[in-house]
Amino acid sequence: MLKATSAQLIFCRFANATGRRFFSAPAQNLKRTALYPLHVELQGKIVEFGGWEMPLQYASDSIINSHIHTRQKASLFDVSHMAQLRLSGKDRIKFLEQLVVADLQELPLGSSKLSVFTNQKGGIIDDTMITNSGDFLFVVVNAGCAEKDIAHISNSLSSFKGDVKFERIDKSLLALQGPSAEKVVQALVKEDLSKMPFMTSKETKLTVHGGTIIPVRISRCGYTGEDGFEISVDHNHAIQLAKTLLKHGDVKPAGLGPRDTLRLEAGLCLYGHDIEQHTTPVEASLSWVIGKRRKEQGGFLGADKILSQIKNPSTVTTKRIGLSLTSGGPPPREGATIHDKDSEKEIGKITSGTFSPILKQAIAMAYIDTPYSKIGSQVNIKVRGKNYGAAVTKMPFVPTSYKKI
pLDDT in tens, 135-192: 999 999 999 999 999 999 999 999 999 999 999 999 999 999 999 999 999 999 999 9
Looking at residue 27, its pLDDT comes to: 55
**Helix (H) / strand (E) containing 251:** strand 251-253
Are 56 and 43 in contact by the 8 Å Cβ rule? The answer is: no
Say how far apart CA 384 and CA 336 lie, in whole Å: 9
Multiple choice CATH, 317-400, 3.40.50.1980, 2.40.30.110, 2.60.40.10, 3.30.470.10: 2.40.30.110
Say how far apart CA 84 and CA 173 lie, in whole Å: 9
Looking at residue 29, its pLDDT comes to: 86
Question: Is it true that the peptide bond before 215 is cis, omega within 30 degrees of 0?
Answer: no
Give 101-121 pLDDT, tens digit per residue: 999 999 999 999 999 999 999
Cα 42–Cα 129–Cα 269 angle in degrees, nearest 5: 75
Does residue 26 surpass a pLDDT of 90?
Answer: no
**For residue 368, what are the β-bridge partners?**
319, 348
Could you give phi then psi for residue 124, rounded to 5 degrees?
-90, 120
Q: What is the third-level CATH fold of 82-170+280-315?
A: Alpha-Beta Plaits (3.30.70)
Are 22 and 74 in contact by the 8 Å Cβ rule? The answer is: no
DSSP string, 199-215: TEEEEEEEE-TTS-EEE
Say how far apart CA 332 and CA 389 lie, in whole Å: 11
Q: How confident is the model over 190-215, as a mean pLDDT?
A: 97
Which contacts qualify for 236-240: CB closer than 8 Å, 24 or more apart?
236/34, 237/172, 237/208, 237/212, 238/33, 238/34, 238/35, 238/80, 238/172, 238/174, 239/34, 239/35, 239/37, 239/38, 240/208, 240/209, 240/210, 240/212, 240/214
Looking at residue 329, its pLDDT comes to: 86
DSSP secondary structure letter of residue 144:
G
**For residue 352, what are the β-bridge partners?**
365
Q: Classify domain 6-80+171-265 by CATH architecture.
A: 2-Layer Sandwich (3.30)
Domain boundaries along the sequence of the chain = 6-80+171-265, 82-170+280-315, 317-400
The predicted model scores a pTM of 0.93
Does residue 72 surpass a pLDDT of 90?
Answer: yes
Say how far apart CA 346 and CA 337 lie, in whole Å: 7
